[in-house]
Structure 1
Amino acid sequence: MGAAAVACPLPARAQQPAAVRKVGFLYPGPGSAVTVRLEAFLEGLRNAGYRVPEHLEIIPRFADSDPARLPSLAAELVDRNADVIAAVSTAAANAVRAATTAIPIVGLDLETDPVATGMIASLAHPGANLTGFFFDFAEFRGKLLELLKEIVPRLSKIAVIWDPNSGPAQLKSVEAGAEAMKLTLEKLEARNVPEMHQAFDAAKRAGVDAVMILSSPFIGANTKLIADLTLRDALPAVTLFSEFARNGGLMSYGPNILDIYRSVGGIVAKVLKGNKPADLPVELPTKFELVINLKTARALKLEIPANLLVRADEVIE
C-alpha cells in the first residue's frame, strides 16, 4: 500500500499549479455592489480546482460607476503583471484591451454584440487576447415587451430607462420591438442614482403605462432602489435582473447572473491552464428565468394570466 501511494500521488496534489497566479478583476461599479457576484466568480474558479490564496491572488479594481477611471485601473492591473484579467462590461474590456495586447482578457458583457463592435473576430474563434461571456440577442428585448403586454393589456406607452455608459445597442433593439408592436417609447437616461430618480419622475409625468429597465452594471447593482421607485410610482416594470423582482419589482426575465459569473470564473480557469483566448469560443446564456412578484402585482391591481404563472420559474407570493 505504501509503494502504491508513492507511485500514485493524490490527484489534487498533482493538479496544483506550481506557483500562485494573479487574476485581475475589473468592475465598473462600486465594490460594495459586487460582493455576491465576485463570490460566484471565485466559485467558478474553485470548481476548476483553483483556490485563494493557495493557488490564486485576486486583484480587484472597482471604478465606482465612473467610466473615466477604467483606463487607469486597467493599467494598474497590467503593471501588477496579472496572468489574466476578468473585465465586466464593454467599457472595462475595452480599457484592458487598450492597456495590453499580451495579457489574456476574459470579458463579461451583457449589453453589446462583441463581433459587431469589433471586440472579437467571431464567437467560435475570438482571435487576439479576448474571450468571455457575452449576451446580445435583439429578439430578447422584444420578449420583455411581450411579457409586459401580457400583464398590462392596455399597454400603449412605455418608458425605457437605459444607461448610456452601456452603449446604444439595447436601446436600438427595443426601439425596433416597440415599433413592431406599435408602442410609444419614452427614452430616459440613467447613469447614476440621481439620474435614476429623475428618470422615474419623468416617466410619471409622461403618464407611461409601464417601464422597461435595460441592462448595465450600474442598473444591476441598484435593483433594490429601482424596485422601490417602481412601487413608489405604482408602475409595472420589467428588467433582466432577477434581484429586481425579488426586491419588490413586478417581473424579471433573463439569464441567471450568478451562473454567468461562475461561468466567467470557469473561463478564467481554462486560460490559467494554458488555453489561448483566441481559440476559446465565447460563451452565451442558454437558460432564461422568469420571476414574477405576485405580491407586487396585487398591489398594482394587476391580474397575472394563469398561463404566465405556469411558465414562471419563480413566483413570489
Structure 2
Amino acid sequence: MKKSLAIVLMGVLLLLSACGGGSKETSGEKKEKEVKIGITQIVEHPSLDAAREGFIAALKDAGYEEGKNLKLDYQNAQGDMNTNLSIAQKLVSDKNDLILAIATPSAQAVLKNTKEIPVLFTAITDPVGAQLVKSIEKPGGNSTGTSDTHPDAIKNTIAAIKKFVPNAKKVGIIYNNGEPNSVVNVKNAKKAIEAEGLEAVETTITAGSEVKQAAESLVGRVDVLYIPKDNTVVAALESVITVANAKDIPTFVGEGDSVKRGAFASYGLNYHDLGYSTGKMAVEILKGKKPSEIPVGFPEKLELVINKKAAAEEGITLTEDLIKDAKIVGE
C-alpha cells in the first residue's frame, strides 16, 4: 500500500513538473527587455507638445511602443522652476535608460543631475550658449538633440513686418528675461529690427499671469507686436491676442503653432518633425550609439504661416500677391 502511494505521488510530481516546463515553453519567446524613457517638459503649449508627440511617433515607428517594450514617464513642470528641478531629480533617480528634455530649462536641470544617463533635448534655442553641449558637431558628454533655431527664421519674420505693415515704426517685444533662450531670441530679433530700420520696444515678465498686463502696457506705444519663442509668454499667448485684436495691433510670432492659435504671422517650423528627428536619435542611442557621437540637429525648412482671421481682427488687408507663398490657417 505504501509502495503504491509512493508511486502515485511520484507520478503526480512528474506531471506537475511537466506542466510547469510546458508553460514556460508555450509562453513564447523570451520577453523583450522593457526600455524606460523619462520625458520632462517645462510648460504645456502646442509647439512643445508637438515635439513630444513627434518624438514618441519616431519611437513607435522603430518598434518601441508603450505597453509592449517601452515605459514612458512624462512630467510637466507647468512653468515652475522648482518643480522642473524636482522632475529632473526624479527621472535621474528612477534610472531611466534615456531622458528627453523639452526646452532649455528642462535640459539644464537634467544635466545638472546626471553625467551618465543619455539625455536628448529638443526645442532648444542655443544648445552651446546654454552649456548643453560643447559644440554643435561634437556635443561631447552625455547629451545631444535638436535646436529649433533656423538661421533665417527671425530675420524673415521681422522682414515680414515691413511687407505686411509698411507704415510700422515701433515693434513691441514681450518676453521673460529669466529664460536664456528668450534672451538669445530677443537679441537676434533686435538686430533684425534695427536692420529693417525699425525700433524695438521691450517689456519683460516673470510669470504667465503678467503677460496680459505687459501687452496692455504697449498699447499706443508700438505699431506691431513680436512674440519670440518664449515659453512663459507663448503658454499665455491668448492674453496677448485678446489685447492685439481689441486694439488692432498686428502680432508676429516666433513659430507657426502660435499663428494657428490666433497670432497673425510667422516664418515657422514644424515642431512635430523636430521631435521626430529627436526620436530617431533616441533609437540610435538605444541601439548603442553615444550622444557625443551624434551632432545637434536643426530644422530643415521654414514656411510663412498666416492666420486670415487674425488679419481681419488686427486690421491687415491681405492681397493674393502677399499670401501667394504662404500657408493659410484660420479661414
Range into which the TM-score falls when normalised by the shorter chain: 0.7 to 0.9
1:276, CA displacement in angstroms? Answer: 0.6
SS at match of 2:241: helix
Please tell me whether the aligned partners of residues 162 and 213 of structure 1 are also in contact (alpha carbons under 8 angstroms).
yes
User: What's the offset of the Cα at 1:272?
Assistant: 1.3
- Percent sequence identity over aligned pairs: 26
Moved more, 268-277 or 100-109: 268-277
Q: Deviations over 1:50-78 (max 9, x none)?
A: 10021111111221101232222111101
Rounded to whole Å, the distance in 2 between the matches of 1:228 and 1:190 is 17
2: distance between equivalents of 1:17 and 1:269? Answer: 19
Q: What is the CA distance between 1:41 and its match in structure 2?
A: 2.5
1:196 aligns with 2:243: no
8 Å Cα contact 2:119/2:142 also seen in 1: yes
Pairing 1:21–2:41 present: no
Range that drifts further, 264-273 or 96-105: 264-273
Alignment partners' CA distance in 1, 2:312 and 2:84: 43
Gaps in structure 2 of 5+ consecutive residues: 1-27
Give the corresponding residue for 2:153: 140
Offset at residue 281 of structure 1 (A): 1.5
AA paired with 1:178?
I
Give 1:231 shift: 1.5
Instruction: Work out whether 1:181 is the aligned partner of 2:196.
Output: yes
SS of 1:204's partner is: coil
* Number of the residue aligned with 1:80: 94
SS in 1 for 2:71: strand
Look up the match of 1:95.
Answer: 109
- Tell me if the contact between 1:111 and 1:169 (Cα under 8 Å) persists in the aligned partners: yes
Greater mean deviation of Cα atoms: 121-130 or 260-269: 260-269
Cα gap change, 1:275 to 1:70, in 2 (>3 Å): same
- How many correspondences in the alignment? 302
Q: Residue in 2 aligned with 1:285?
A: 299
Q: Residue 311 of structure 1 aligns to a residue in which SS?
A: coil
Larger Rg: 1 or 2? 2
Give the AA of the match of 2:275: Y
**Structure 1 pair 42–197 and aligned structure 2 pair: CA distance change class (3 A):** same
Q: 1:171 to 1:41 in 2, by over 3 A?
A: same
Instruction: Specify which of 68, 78, 87 is matched with residue 82 of structure 2.
Output: 68
1:304 lines up with 2:318 in the alignment: yes
Decide which moves more: 159-168 or 42-51.
159-168
What is residue 128 of structure 1 aligned with on the other side?
Answer: 141
Name the SS of the counterpart of 2:32 in structure 1.
Answer: coil
SS in structure 2 opposite 1:301?
coil
Q: Cα RMSD (Å) of the superposition?
A: 2.5
Q: What residue is the counterpart of 2:163 in the other structure?
A: 150
Question: What amino acid is aligned across from residue 312 of structure 2 in structure 1?
Answer: R
1:235-289 per-position Cα deviation (integer Å, ceiling 9, x unaligned): 1011133232223221122111122222222222221121110001211001112
Q: Equivalents in 1 of 2:77, 2:237: separation in Å?
A: 19
Structure 1 residue 137: Cα displacement: 4.5
